[in-house]
Amino acid sequence: MDYKDLANLIFPNAKDIKYYEEKYPERNLPEGAIVTRFAPSPTGFVHIGGLYQALVAKTVAEKTDGVFFLRVEDTDQKREVENGVIGIVNSLKDFDMAPDEGMITDTEEIGNYGPYKQSLRKDIYQAYAKYLIEQGKAYPCFCTPEEDEERKAKQEAAKLRTGYYGVWAKCRKLTVEEMAEKIKNGESYIIRFKSPGREDRKIKHKDVIKGNVDFPENDQDIIIIKSDGLPTYHFAHAVDDHLMRTTYVIRSDEWLSSVPLHLQLFHELGFKAPKYAHISPIMKNDNGGKRKLSKRKDPEAAVSYYKEQGIPTDAVKEYLLNIANSTFENWRRANPDKKMEEFDFQLNKMSVSGALFDMIKLLDIGKTVISKMTAEEVYEKALDWANEFDSELVEMLKNKEYALKVFGIERGNKKPRKDIAKWSDVKENIEYMYDDKFYSKTQEYPYQVISDKESIEKILKLYIEKYYYVNDDKQTWFDKIKELSVEMGYAGEVKEFKANPGKYKAHVGDVSTVLRVALTSRTNTPDMYEIMKVLGKETIEKRFEKAIENLK
């Protein structure tokens, strides 16, 4: 009885690994092309940190004419969640980040290196596990979970490192015959990797992001095949990223400490190791402390949150890109109209420490992103959002021609309006431009400096009767408000007003405010000239009448 017999006893039907090596050949890509992936497990909603990783991965793959693929890591059936896979696929789609290869729905996939769902690759993992066993680099372990618990408790009590290593690796010492015997007796077992490492030796690793990191070698005989026949993360990672010909493993930095193990696995399997880029997590301030954005506590941890809020997907991506490479910000200022894909992203310039998530900054980017859109784009995106989340807004946007006029206010010029940060802001932003909303919502008119009824009524009446002409250009329109102010005994110029304190009760600005409040019931609005043009004479008159009525 030798290792080969043992391997055959355990995996009688596994193929020779040569079969897979040939089936998944080296990729024929240009020099420097990066093959990388997003490899989430379908255990819940997609986390913003996951999207961040995916963005970084996709960006470097695109930059180098490489490949970005999506692999689903569903080797833990217990934690799997319903619709997990489709949730991942759709989230990527929502952000216009569909992979080049891999899962494209919950069951379909594209690409020649599949299956891209780990639960479908059981045979492959077993073939490689068998290969290791044949070489004496892996072995069956018969320890029960209870025994493992016991071992761990002993180790802890003795203040020793926990784990399956050295003298604690009980089954490692079994002879091949003993192992075969136990298997034939029907004892249950898992497969462990026989680590050649020594804890007192150091290995050097150069991470693409973290730089040089030294670790003790791995000496743990970790489990590679679980009792359900599926691999653990570590083993699946080695087999898959080798077979899928991944060149860069871009993943969350919680994996950094597993690098010694992974490198060892690649080496013992005879694989060329990929480069590793460990990304720092996105953090959240929690009572002065920092912690990872939590799925349970923080709504903004879920990518679906951004969709619900209507934060433009481009804003989210630009924000993430900004965290990834802070030079993005300067680039963006210098190139306000370029596509973010043109930015020269550098993996090795990513921050080594985790950034605190800054919603305020994200929203600021949202404002800028939306301000650069045409009225048509704003209309389309707002409508898309409304169709999913706000039927009232959908109703308001029915009249597209009118909506375009509303969205066109102060848009398209050199200093475009910047007051919508997210699609959920739209309704509140344009409500007063719609008569039904205006009349049903207006409770009061917040007049400011000029607040006495007589003056207000007089201003409103005079304006309509004497000063408002639909076709006035902006300068004439404003000159007339000045004239009106003067006629009422107010200052026609603010400067004049300020230069002569006490001489006037109010100035043009105050008169404008009366008009604005009567017209919109708000003190703050975009340019009133444009608003009046969109509203039209009839509406303006009606609203002024209503305002006058309201005075009584």
Partner RNA sequence: GGCCCCGUGGUCAAGCGGUUAAGACAUCGCCCUUUCACGGCGGAGACAUGGGUUCGAUUCCCGUCGGGGUCACCA
Q: Are 421 and 539 in contact (CB under 8 A)?
A: no
Residues numbered 455-494 forming contacts with RNA, rule: CB under 7 A: 475, 478, 493-494
Least distance to RNA, CB of residue 114, Å: 17
Binding string, residues 363-402; x marks residues near RNA by CB under 7 A: -x--x---x-------------------------------
Residue with Cβ nearer RNA (78 or 398): 78
Q: Considering only residues 305 through 344, tell me which ones interact with RNA, judged by CB under 7 A.
A: 322-323, 326, 329-330, 333
Least Cα distance to 232 among 82, 350, 75 occurs for: 75
Q: Segment 90-129, which members bind RNA (CB under 7 A)?
A: none
Q: Which element (helix H / strand E) includes 383?
A: helix 375-389
> Among all chains, which residue has been given the structure tokens 């069951």?
107
The smaller minimum CB distance to RNA, of residues 28 and 158, is found at 158
> Taking contact as CB under 7 A, which single stretch among the options 12-20, 51-59, 122-130, 213-221 is the one that binds RNA?
213-221
Least distance to RNA, CB of residue 165, Å: 10
Chosen residue from 105, 112, 188, 440 binding RNA by CB under 7 A: 188
| Separation of alpha carbons 520 and 506, rounded Å | 21
Query: Which helix or strand (DSSP H or E) is residue 244 part of?
Result: none
Per CB under 7 A, 240 contacts RNA: no
Query: Using an 8 Å Cβ cutoff, are 469 and 544 in contact?
Result: no
Smallest distance, Å, CB 25 to RNA? 25
Q: Which span (89-97, 290-298, 454-462, 544-552) binds RNA, by CB under 7 A? A: 290-298
In whole angstroms, the minimum distance from the beta carbon of 391 to RNA comes to 27
Tokens representing 346?
A: 């550098």
Q: Does residue 115 have a cis peptide bond before it, meaning omega lies within 30 degrees of 0? A: yes
Cβ closest to RNA, residue 126 vs residue 513: 513
| CA atoms of 224 and 172, how far apart (whole Å) | 14
When binding is defined by CB under 7 A, the residue of 524, 538, 549, 552 that contacts RNA is 524
Q: How far is the CB of 101 from RNA (least distance, A)?
A: 18
Residue selected from 360, 401, 444, 549 as contacting RNA according to rule CB under 7 A: 360
Q: How far apart are CA 43 and CA 82, in angstroms?
A: 8
Q: According to the binding rule CB under 7 A, does residue 504 interact with RNA? A: no
Residue that has been written with the tokens 């912690």 in this structure: 291
In the complex, minimum distance from the CB of residue 395 to RNA, in angstroms, rounded to a whole number? 25
Strands 223-225 and 190-193 come out as: antiparallel
Binds RNA by CB under 7 A, chosen from 226, 405, 427, 458:
226
- 232 sits in the region (left: phi over 0; alpha: psi -120 to 50; else beta) called beta
User: How near is the Cβ of 23 to RNA at its closest, in Å?
Assistant: 23
Segment contacting RNA (CB under 7 A): 9-17, 240-248, 518-526, 539-547? 518-526
Size of the site for RNA (CB under 7 A): 89
Q: Using the minimum distance from each CB to RNA, give the nearer residue, 187 or 436.
A: 187
- In angstroms, give the least distance from the CB of 269 to RNA: 18
| Part in contact with RNA (CB under 7 A); list of ranges 36-44, 99-107, 168-176, 534-542 | 36-44
Q: Find where tokens 């020594």 sit.
A: 198
Q: How far apart are CA 362 and CA 359, in angstroms?
A: 5
Of the candidates 107, 98, 67, the residue with the CA atom closest to the CA atom of residue 244: 67
- To the nearest whole angstrom, how small is the minimum distance from the Cβ of residue 31 to RNA? 27
- Read off the amino acid at residue 354: G
Q: Site for RNA (CB under 7 A): which residue of 65, 177, 187, 254?
A: 254
Task: Pull the structure tokens for residue 4.
Answer: 């080969």
353 binds RNA (CB under 7 A): yes
Q: Which residue has the tokens 């109703």?
A: 395
Torsion sign over Cα 152, 158, 161, 167: negative
Cβ nearer to RNA, comparing 112 with 285: 285
How far from 231 is each of 43, 237, 529, CA to CA, in Å? Answer: 17, 9, 68
Residues 397, 410: Cα–Cα separation, whole Å = 19
- Mapped onto helix, strand or coil, the DSSP state of residue 35 is strand
Tokens of 226: 């679980």
Contact with RNA (CB under 7 A) among 213, 394, 486, 534: 213
Stretch that binds RNA, among 69-77, 84-92, 129-137, 269-277 (CB under 7 A): 69-77
Is residue 92 helix, strand or coil?
helix
Helix (H/G/I), strand (E/B), else coil: 274? coil
Chain positions 124 to 183 lying near RNA, rule: CB under 7 A, are 143-145, 148, 152, 159, 161-164
Q: What is the dihedral of CA 8, 221, 234, 78, to 10 degrees?
A: 80
CB of 150 to RNA, least distance (A): 12
The reply on whether position 419 binds RNA by CB under 7 A is yes
**Residue 355 touches RNA, criterion: CB under 7 A:** yes
Rg (CA), the chain: 33
Shortest Å distance, C-beta 75 to RNA: 4
Among 3, 24, 215, 305, binds RNA (CB under 7 A): 215
Question: What 8-state DSSP symbol labels residue 66?
Answer: -
Between 136 and 526, CB nearer to RNA:
526
Tokens of residue 281, six digits: 């997590």
Q: Which of 372, 290, 279, 365 is nearest to 322 (CA)?
A: 365
Stretch touching RNA by CB under 7 A, among 20-28, 175-183, 219-227, 308-316: 219-227
